Amino acid sequence: MMGIRLNHILIVDDDELNNYLVKEVIGDLVLVKEIRSETSGWEALDYLKEKKASGDFPEMIIVDVKMPEMDGFEFLERYEDLFFNDFKNTRIAVATSSHREYDRMKAAQYPSVNLFVNKPLDEVKLNYIFKALFEV
């Protein structure tokens, strides 16, 4: 286990099995009080509005690119409009099974995005994410 301690992580991915597995691995890697997953961008935005009001905003968000209704890029656009100015310390990792360079380049255009990774998010990749985002 790394020496990273977080209060709150949000996973935004329409794949419930993936969310379960990622939560399990994260729980083994870092000390975290709450790991929440939402299966749509709309639900995630509503959840973040609640967390903003309660003062318990996530320190980290992992968002999938390919989702129905609202894809990861649409989520990021709304996230930046609603939350980014108030929560610049929140780290965002964009995850995708796509290996298209276009997705990587598009993700890099969002000031809120700290990292782009390819799925699946196994222990090695999650370890990399935490080290890249939280260890100096």
Nearest partner of 117 among 126, 48, 25, judged by Cα:
126
Q: How confident is the model at residue 3 (pLDDT cuts 50, 70, 90)?
A: confident
Whole-number pLDDT of residue 135: 78
> Would you list the domain boundaries of the chain?
5-134
Q: Evaluate whether 20 touches 44 at the Cβ level (below 8 Å).
A: no
111-135: average pLDDT: 95
What integer best gives the mean pLDDT of the chain? 95
Task: Quickly name the fold that domain 5-134 has.
Answer: Rossmann fold (3.40.50)
Residue 114 is given by DSSP the state: E
- For residue range 64-117, what is the model confidence (pLDDT) as tens digits? 999 999 999 999 999 999 999 999 999 999 999 988 899 999 999 999 999 999
Handedness of CA 49, 112, 7, 20 (dihedral sign): positive
Q: What percentage of residues in the chain have a pLDDT greater than 90? A: 93
